[in-house]
Each structure stands twice: as structure tokens, then as C-alpha cells.
A and B are shown apart, each in its own frame.
Chain A
Amino acid sequence: MAMSYIGSHILDRELKKGSAELLILSLVEDQPRHGYDIGNLIEQRSEGVLRFNVASLYPLLYRLEKRGWIQGRWVEKAGQRRRRYYRLTPEGKKVLAAQRNSWREFVEAVNRITGIEHA
């Protein structure tokens, strides 16, 4: 049992890491979002399966920003404290499209192998 727990834990991290970029880029595709918002949305929409907390989320955001796929900007809205909003850059858009494709292909391939068929 202990072995399988560790195994699943590692798998969990690797999976998250591989998919995280795609998740973040998708979430800021339509509108700029701040980090806490992004983290919350991931948790909500995955219904608690995927969770990024502060320690793993922000380094990712900074990495994407550094690559020029997203861009963060400090914004002050009336009645709120200033927050850093991230939006998708044109380059990020292309990357997102490409990643979506390969993810779809990957998932389909895995499905074909593991025999999980669409209902």
C-alpha cells in the first residue's frame, strides 16, 4: 500500500507538471486572471482532482511569462488591492493551439491503448 501511495503521488506530480502549462494557458485565453483566480479555477473545474497551491503555481506562471507566452501586469481596480493579472500573448496563443492538439492526440492514444472508450 505504501508503495502504491508513493507511486501515485509521483505520477500525480508528473502528470500535473506535463498538463499544467496547458491548463494555465487555457484559463487565461478568454480573459486576464490573477494567480489565486487561476489556482481556484483549476481546483473547481477539476472538481478537486487537480490542485496547485502557491508554491507550485507561481514558479509556473513566472516560467510561462519568461517564455513570453503570458504577460503579467499590475492592475488596480476600484475598491480592490492591486493584483497581478496574466493574459495570453499572441505567441502564447499559438503555443496553446499546438499543445491542445498534441494533448488531444496523446489522450486519444492512451485511451486506445488502455481500452477506455467513449461511451
Chain B
Amino acid sequence: MPDWKEEIRRRLSGLRLSPTREAEIVEELAQHLDDRYEGLLLGGATKEEAYQVVLLELTEGDVLVQELRGVEISVRHESIVLGERRRMSMSEDFWQDLRYGLRMLVKNPGFTVVAVIALALGIGANSAIFSVVNTVLLRPLPYKDPDRLVMVWEDNTRSGFPRDTPAAANYVDWRDQNQVFEGMAAIADQSFNLTGIGEPERIEGKRVSANLFPLLGVEPQLGRAFLPEEDQPGGGRVVLLSHGLWQRRFGSDANITGKPLSLNGEIYTVVGVMSPDFQFPSREDELWVPIAFTSQEAASRGRHYLKVIARTKQGVTLQQAQAEMNTIAARLGQQYPDQNTDLGATVTSLHDHVVGDIKPALLILLGAVGLVLLIACANVANLLLARAAVRQKEIAVRIALGASRLRLIRQFLTESILLSVLGGVVGLLLSLWGVKLLKAFIPENISQVQSVTVDAKVLLFTLLVSLLTGLIFGLAPITQASNFNLNETLKEGGRDSATGSRGNRIRGLLVVTEVAISLILLIGAGLLINSFLRLRNVDTGFRADNLLTMRIVLPTLKYPDQTRRTAFYTELVSRIENLPGVQTAAVTNWIPLVQQGDSQGISIEGRPDPGPGKNPVVVTRVVSPDYFSTMGIQLLQGRQFGDQDRVDSPRVIVVSQEMARRYWQGEDPLGKRIKTGGANSPNPWMEIVGVTKDVRQVKLDADPKPQMYVPYTQPVFFQPSHLVVRTDVEPRSLAATVRKTVWEIDKDQPVSNISTMEDVLSESIARQRFSMLLLGIFAAVALVLAAVGIYGVMSYSITQRTHEIGIRMALGAQASDVLKLAIGGGLKLVFIGVAIGLALSFVLTRLMSSLLFGVTATDPLTFVAVSLSLIVVALAACFVPARRATKVDPLIALRYE
């Protein structure tokens, strides 16, 4: 019998009927034609004649198509079935898929919500971290051609300072001798006591070369920058204000320029106000005055206190600049062997300097959130797989009706990308909130942190991540769609083929991936937590509890000599010690953990001169007698300072354990003498009268350097500037009283940086806490997502095996056997995941070595403990569905067939 269907279809194709309707009509008409054909044969026609007659009746005057057009077109249904014969454009397909995808999502709210939450967590975390990376690492500095700006340091590796602050004379020589820089400017710390208007205030600022502003390419918002002649000794006292200070203290006075200002007891003239985004070098700086080296200062190579910034000439690379500076430094070393032997020069990009050491932490966090997102992807892929199993029939029908695999894949991808974009939108909202949270977490001393925002770049990043995410997890169900047995699936009562071994393999792979990735994150977080705990437990050498600290810098104009300064501090300490709630008080030049400076080269009595520039360098702290007891620094040998140590008495010092160990190994350091400077320096000998425990002066994670303490009553090189008060009560509660006591002695004396020692301690490890907290949070999210993923897969596989479990129980298996069976399968996957995760961690954690303290990147304890915890969590995730399996009633389970 001829095949009429093709003939009929060909005629109907112009009508663009829905595939189902078309199929129906084709079938009905084909039957009619078959009957007619047979009828004609029975009537005696030959096959050829019958065929011709039937065909003629079908095609007669195009009646069929004309008539059908009138009837059918008006009832065309919107179709959800994708037939190949229905020719549509790509964009039409896309919109149809989109509408269909949306309907599917709305129809399965549980699935949609879980998937979107998982994706939003992953994408949101990525956007938040990326917005920080974008601002801190990627956004160019707000200066003209920032790529050409560099910092130039002294390379003082011989004393342990590979990037030391240059001395003025070296800066002057560098500036005058180089051929590679367009300009070079010097910057020196300077704090100012602002008096004469309201409360006296300590304001941080900088002395800067007049050419700094043109070098950076910035101009004041109001007034002008410094003139070259103002950068000369006696060139006139002029000052530039920060925008913040101008608003805060001068009510944004538009006519501020030309007005006088009392700074450190001297009158300065305001010449300009900087723009709000000018924070140079840091946010704390609010005043700038010309540096105006005196001839004496400009000739000094002994005091290293400058920061030097330079702009390379067009086309000069960092390497070329470095080479030039090497040559100059070597020449200066020969020229001034006393100070410059082995003293190099290092050129670094300004960007690297500004970004600082947060870079590795941020990159690792970015990697970590990427991994979290991968786990979220695995979870969603899992959900999609389970749903794809449910949709087998739908897929089979479509393929039967002529949908191509490619077409199906396109629809699946549209659906998953729709899902991931939804997740991206929610994630973006999460990241807005996350950025706020991050700003609170990030250590304040990282510049630009406050300007972290979700900008167009972040939006683009989020969109790309969302699309990529959709592609990744959308692939899972596709691997199934492109490989299933049409006949099996279409057969009534046929078992779901997507639940076959291939589906299980993919599910198993997802569990292994999730376990492996979360193990990497957990181990990373474990190492950081471990480091942080060790850092917290480092013996600082002092007792941080119940200590109030503040900064009190006496202006040289008002207190020109040591007698007057000592008198002020002695008076202050004795008044404060009489306050209720105060045990003892003391002053020092620097409290621990805020500053690395104030070191001196020394010579040891009776030892050969090590040669120019090779003297030992020790950290020097100038202290009042009660300093050790106030700080809780333990005296190991000898005595503290006391009233007997006067200006005219023999010079004495107390040294740290490390200093005693390093220079008097196996000897009794008490009674030994040293002096500052070289062996031939005229400085007086100082006798060691005591040895204290080591104090972490600079950083908690750096081994203590040799330290010496000098009594502030004897002639000293450094001035005290910090007050420490040991209290019986909550230290902060005494802050106002202590400040009032200062003003009782000198009403113009500013007090700043009021803090407790515990806060100082905490602030000094803010960066480590930041990395630890964030990686910890990400690892926790990863763990939860992985646990949910394992739980989902286990539940699914047990539901699938209900029948099998029923048979086993009917044949006498006990609940414990079933439990073992159910958990066993899950645990196998978990163990594979753990093994892979351990191997990867072994490689990856090395990347974070620079963030660790006290533990190696492959710390076995962390690796084992974290793996065990993960296994326990995974076990729990397996246990819940497995227990459900033991509750299976064999009768009911068997009836399922």
C-alpha cells in the first residue's frame, strides 16, 4: 500500500499547524486514503489506476489546503512541543524556550527556590569579593598616568629592612643624579597640634616636596599647591588642608585661603584645600606643608625617615629605573662608606605599595568563592538531574515528534541559564549587602576600602559568572538527554532510563566533586584559623588587659628641651597615678605593635669595630620608670629604672632577652656596656642594669628583634609620645578623666589615638582576622552546600532502590544490614572525594603560605582533623536518608512494581 502520509504532510506544511494537530490530521486522512485505495482495487482497478485516482482526489484543486486554512488556522494552539517541521527562527525559539522555562520554574517553586538560593549564595559571594578585588587591585590609582608612579626605597637588607625609608641626603642625590625619572618627591611624617580654635587637636599630616602635587597630577580643589620657593628653609609657612579637615574644623569656609592657622605653636597660612578623594599617602593625613629641608637635614645620611615617590620618564620601564638606581646607590656606597656601604635602592610600583600585602589574601579569597560557586553548581546540576528523570517522558515525546537533540539541548540550556541569571540577580542583591559587611571587616589601613562599590564592572562580572554557571550546571541533564533509549521510555510502565547507571555515575561524580572542593576550602580555612589562634596565643611579652594608651606629642616650640619635656611627663604620670582606678602609668616613644621605627646602631664595649655601616641595629624604647610594671613586661635579671637614674648619673639601659642572647651568649649581660653609633662615636657608654622578656614590638608574626630600653630622664635621642595607664577598672572608662588631666597641665596639648592595648593588639592582626573570617565563612557555606548535595543524592538513590531494599528485607535482611548498604554507597563516594580533595589541597595550600603563621601549608594535624570532620558531616548527611531506608515496609515496597 502506498504511503500517503508523506503526501499529506507535504500539503499541510504550508499551514504551519501545531505538530500534534498535524499528526492527527495526517493519520485520519491517511486512513481514509488507504480505505479508498482498497475500495478502488476491490472495484477492479489496477494498483496504478487506484493510486492515481486517490492522489487526484487528495490534490483536487487545492481544496484541502484552502478549506483547512479556514478551519484550522483560527484554532492554532500555542505549542510547547518542539517539532523540527515547525520552522521557527532562532529568536522565536529562544522566546518560546524562555516562556516555557519560566512556566517550569513557576510550576516547581520548591526546586526553583532551592536552586536560586544556592546559586545566589555562590554568585553573591563572587560579586562581593570581586567588587573588593576590582577596587583594591584593578582600579587604577586616582592620579595622572598612575602606571608611571613608583616608590623608591633604600635597600637596607643588612639591617633587616629590605625596603627602608630613605635618608634625606640619599634622596637629594638620587633626585639630582638620575636620568630615568621625570620628577622625584619626598614625604615625611609630621603630626601637628592644631590650637587656637576650639579643642586642641592632634592632626596627622606630611611634609612634602613642593613638586609632589604636579608629580601626581592633582590640583587643589580650592586655592593652589605649593610654590617651589616655599620648599626652601624660611620659604614661608604655608599649609594645604584635606577636604575632611576643612569641613570638620572650618565649616567648609570658602574663603579659607590666606587665613592663618596655629600648628605646633607656629602660624601657617592656608593656601589651598584638596579634593575629597585625595588621600595621600593615607586616609589619616589631613595636612600638608612644604618639606623645606634645612642644609643640615639635606646632608644627613643617618636618619632614615622619608618616603620617596617618583614618576618615570615616558617609555622607561621599572627594570630600567631599577638598574639606574642600582648604579647610583653603588656610587653613593663608595662615596660615603660610613653610612652607605651595602645600602641599595629598590624601585617598586606605587600600585604595589598601595595594595600592599592584602593582594595574596584577596586572590585566595577570590579563588575560594569560585570554588563555593562550583559546589553550588554541582548542587543545582544534581537537582536538574533529578528533574530530568521526571521529565523523561516529555523529552521522549518531543524526540518522537521530531525534535532534534540540538534543539532539546538549546532548550535545556535556556532553562538553566534562566535559572542562573535569576540566581545572579538575587546574588547581586546579596553582594550589595556583602560589600557593606566586607567594608566593616577589611582592615582600615588598606587604602580605597571605603570606596569599594558595586560598579558596572562588577555587574558585568556577575552577568558573566551567571551565564558561565548556567552553562556548567546545565550540561549535566544534557549528557542524559543526548543519551537515552526512546523506545524504553515511551513504553507504558517502562522504567525510567535516566535513573540507570549513567545517571548514577554523574550523580556520584557530583558528590565526589563537592566533597573534594569543600575539603580544599575547609583545609584552607582550617590552616588560617590555626594560624590565627597561634597568632593570638603568641607571647607578646606584655599584658594587654586593663591597659589604656594614648598619644601625646609635645610641640618642640613649647617644649624645646628635654628638661621641660621630662618635667611635663613626670607631672602627668604622677597626677594620673593618683587618679582613682589607676594602678600605674608610664610614657614611652612607641607602644608595641603600632610602629616599627626608632632603631639605633650600637657599638659594644670591648668588641672589634665591625666596620662602617655594619654595627648591630637595635630597637630603642625610651621609657619612664614604671613602664615595665605598667605594661606587665617581666624583668628577668637586674633592676628596673628608678629615681637614681638622673641626667647626671651614670647612663643605664635595660635590654631584652633576645639582645642579651644575641650579643652576650653565655655571658652575664649585667654590667656590660654599649654606646650608640660607631666605635669611635663620642656618645657615652651605657651600662646594662636589667634584662626583660622579649616584647613583640613590631608585629605579632615577626620574631622579636633585639631591643633596649633607655630611661627618659637621661639624655635620649627619641622623644616619648605615648602614655600607658594600667587600670583596675574598664580602661576606656578612664579615657575622659586622663585627657582632662593632660589639659589641666597644658590646655593646648592635644591627645590622640586613645585606645585600649587590647584593641591595638586586635588591630595589629586585623588583616589575618579578615582572611580567616572570610575563608571560614566560605568554607562553612561550602560545607553546608556539600552536605545538602550529599543528602539529596543519597535520598534520591534510596528512593530509587526502595524495591531492592524491600526484596532484601523480605529475604531476611536486618535494619542494620540495610543501613550498612545505604550508608556504604554514600561513604564510598565521600572517601573518594576526600582522597582527591586531600591531594589537591596538598598542592593548593602552598599558594597561601604567605598568609600562614606557625603552621606549614601541609600541616598534617589540620589535614587530618578537617578530613575527619568532613567525613562526620558527610556521614550524617548519608545517615538520615539511610535510616529512612530501614523503615521500608517490604510489602509496600514490592507492591510498587
Which residue in chain B gives the minimum CB-CB distance to A39?
B32
A106 at the interface (CB under 8 A from B): no
A115 at the interface (CB under 8 A from B): no
A58 B32 Cβ-Cβ under 8 A: yes
A54 B32 Cβ-Cβ under 8 A: yes
B63 A56 Cβ-Cβ under 8 A: yes
Q: How many pairs of A and B residues are in contact by the CB < 8 Å rule?
A: 59
A104 at the interface (CB under 8 A from B): no
Tally A residues with Cβ within 8 Å of B: 19
B492 to chain A, nearest CB (A): 14
CA distance A63 to B57 in the complex (A): 20
CA distance A119 to B338 in the complex (A): 149
A55 B36 Cβ-Cβ under 8 A: no
Of B39, B64, B71, which is within 8 A of A54 by CB? B64
Q: A35-B32, A36-B35, A81-B31 are in contact. Are A54 and B68 (CB under 8 A)?
A: no
A18 at the interface (CB under 8 A from B): no
Please indicate the chain A residues that have their CB under 8 angstroms from the CB of B68 in the complex.
58-59, 62
B64 A36 Cβ-Cβ under 8 A: no
Please indicate the chain A residues that have their CB under 8 angstroms from the CB of B58 in the complex.
53-55
CA distance A60 to B67 in the complex (A): 8
A83 at the interface (CB under 8 A from B): yes
B28 A35 Cβ-Cβ under 8 A: yes
CA distance A63 to B61 in the complex (A): 19
Which residue in chain A gives the minimum CB-CB distance to B54?
A54
CA distance A81 to B33 in the complex (A): 14
Please indicate the chain B residues that have their CB under 8 angstroms from the CB of A59 in the complex.
63-64, 67-68, 70-71
CA distance A81 to B70 in the complex (A): 29
Please indicate the chain B residues that have their CB under 8 angstroms from the CB of A58 in the complex.
25, 28-29, 32, 64, 68
B67 A36 Cβ-Cβ under 8 A: no
Q: Dominant SS at the A interface?
A: helix
Please indicate the chain B residues that have their CB under 8 angstroms from the CB of A34 in the complex.
31
CA distance A34 to B29 in the complex (A): 11
CA distance A60 to B32 in the complex (A): 15
Please indicate the chain B residues that have their CB under 8 angstroms from the CB of A40 in the complex.
39
A83 to chain B, nearest CB (A): 6
Bitwise interface map of A from 51 to 82 toward B, beta carbon under 8 Å scored 1, else 0: 00111111110110010000000000000010
A84 at the interface (CB under 8 A from B): yes
Q: A36-B35, A62-B72 are in contact. Are A55 and B67 (CB under 8 A)?
A: yes
The interface centre, meaning the residue of B29, B32, B35, B63 with most chain A CB atoms within 10 A of its CB, is B32
Please indicate the chain A residues that have their CB under 8 angstroms from the CB of B63 in the complex.
55-56, 59
Please indicate the chain B residues that have their CB under 8 angstroms from the CB of A57 in the complex.
32
Please indicate the chain A residues that have their CB under 8 angstroms from the CB of B60 in the complex.
53, 55-56
Q: Dominant SS at the B interface?
A: helix
A8 to chain B, nearest CB (A): 16
B161 to chain A, nearest CB (A): 92
B75 at the interface (CB under 8 A from A): yes
Q: A54-B58, A55-B63, A59-B64 are in contact. Are A36 and B36 (CB under 8 A)?
A: yes
Which residue in chain B gives the minimum CB-CB distance to A81?
B31
Please indicate the chain A residues that have their CB under 8 angstroms from the CB of B25 in the complex.
58, 62
B59 A63 Cβ-Cβ under 8 A: no
B41 to chain A, nearest CB (A): 15
Closest 10 CB pairs of A and B: A59-B67, A55-B64, A53-B57, A55-B63, A36-B35, A62-B71, A63-B71, A36-B32, A55-B60, A84-B28
Q: A62-B72, A63-B71 are in contact. Are A55 and B59 (CB under 8 A)?
A: yes
Q: Other than A34-B31, A54-B58, give 6 A-B pairs with Cβ distance below 8 A.
A: A39-B32, A56-B67, A57-B32, A58-B32, A59-B63, A59-B64
Please indicate the chain B residues that have their CB under 8 angstroms from the CB of A84 in the complex.
28
CA distance A2 to B70 in the complex (A): 31
The interface centre, meaning the residue of A39, A62, A83 with most chain B CB atoms within 10 A of its CB, is A62
Q: A36-B31, A36-B32, A83-B31 are in contact. Are A55 and B57 (CB under 8 A)?
A: yes
Which residue in chain A gives the minimum CB-CB distance to B63?
A55
Please indicate the chain B residues that have their CB under 8 angstroms from the CB of A81 in the complex.
31
Q: List 22 A-B contacts (CB under 8 A).
A: A35-B28, A35-B32, A36-B35, A39-B32, A54-B33, A54-B36, A54-B64, A55-B58, A55-B60, A55-B61, A58-B25, A58-B29, A58-B64, A58-B68, A59-B64, A59-B68, A62-B25, A62-B71, A63-B67, A63-B71, A66-B71, A84-B28
Which residue in chain A gives the minimum CB-CB distance to B8?
A54
Of A54, A56, A63, A66, which is within 8 A of B29 by CB? A54
Which residues of chain A from 15 to 63 have any CB-CB distance to chain B below 8 Å in the complex? Answer: 34-36, 39-40, 53-60, 62-63
Please indicate the chain B residues that have their CB under 8 angstroms from the CB of A53 in the complex.
36, 57-58, 60
Please indicate the chain A residues that have their CB under 8 angstroms from the CB of B61 in the complex.
55
Q: A59-B67, A59-B68 are in contact. Are A54 and B31 (CB under 8 A)?
A: no
Bitwise interface map of B from 52 to 93 toward A, beta carbon under 8 Å scored 1, else 0: 000001111101100110111001000000000000000000
CA distance A62 to B17 in the complex (A): 14
Which residue in chain B gives the minimum CB-CB distance to A72?
B28
The interface centre, meaning the residue of B58, B60, B71 with most chain A CB atoms within 10 A of its CB, is B71
A39 to chain B, nearest CB (A): 7
Please indicate the chain A residues that have their CB under 8 angstroms from the CB of B67 in the complex.
55-56, 59-60, 63
Please indicate the chain A residues that have their CB under 8 angstroms from the CB of B33 in the complex.
54
B87 to chain A, nearest CB (A): 23
Please indicate the chain B residues that have their CB under 8 angstroms from the CB of A83 in the complex.
28, 31
CA distance A117 to B443 in the complex (A): 112
B747 to chain A, nearest CB (A): 100
CA distance A40 to B35 in the complex (A): 10
Which residue in chain A gives the minimum CB-CB distance to B21?
A62
A20 to chain B, nearest CB (A): 11
CA distance A47 to B39 in the complex (A): 16
CA distance A58 to B70 in the complex (A): 12
CA distance A58 to B4 in the complex (A): 15
A106 to chain B, nearest CB (A): 24
Bitwise interface map of A from 79 to 101 toward B, beta carbon under 8 Å scored 1, else 0: 00101100000000000000000
A87 to chain B, nearest CB (A): 15
B559 to chain A, nearest CB (A): 105
CA distance A49 to B60 in the complex (A): 18
Please indicate the chain B residues that have their CB under 8 angstroms from the CB of A63 in the complex.
67, 70-71
Bitwise interface map of B from 39 to 55 toward A, beta carbon under 8 Å scored 1, else 0: 10000000000000000
Bitwise interface map of B from 5 to 33 toward A, beta carbon under 8 Å scored 1, else 0: 00000000000000000000100110111
CA distance A39 to B54 in the complex (A): 14
A42 to chain B, nearest CB (A): 13
B320 to chain A, nearest CB (A): 86
CA distance A10 to B72 in the complex (A): 25
CA distance A54 to B39 in the complex (A): 14
Please indicate the chain A residues that have their CB under 8 angstroms from the CB of B72 in the complex.
62
CA distance A58 to B60 in the complex (A): 13
A36 to chain B, nearest CB (A): 4
Which residue in chain A gives the minimum CB-CB distance to B56?
A53
Please indicate the chain A residues that have their CB under 8 angstroms from the CB of B64 in the complex.
54-56, 58-59
Please indicate the chain A residues that have their CB under 8 angstroms from the CB of B31 in the complex.
34, 36, 81, 83
B75 A66 Cβ-Cβ under 8 A: yes
B5 to chain A, nearest CB (A): 13
Please indicate the chain A residues that have their CB under 8 angstroms from the CB of B29 in the complex.
54, 58
B704 to chain A, nearest CB (A): 92
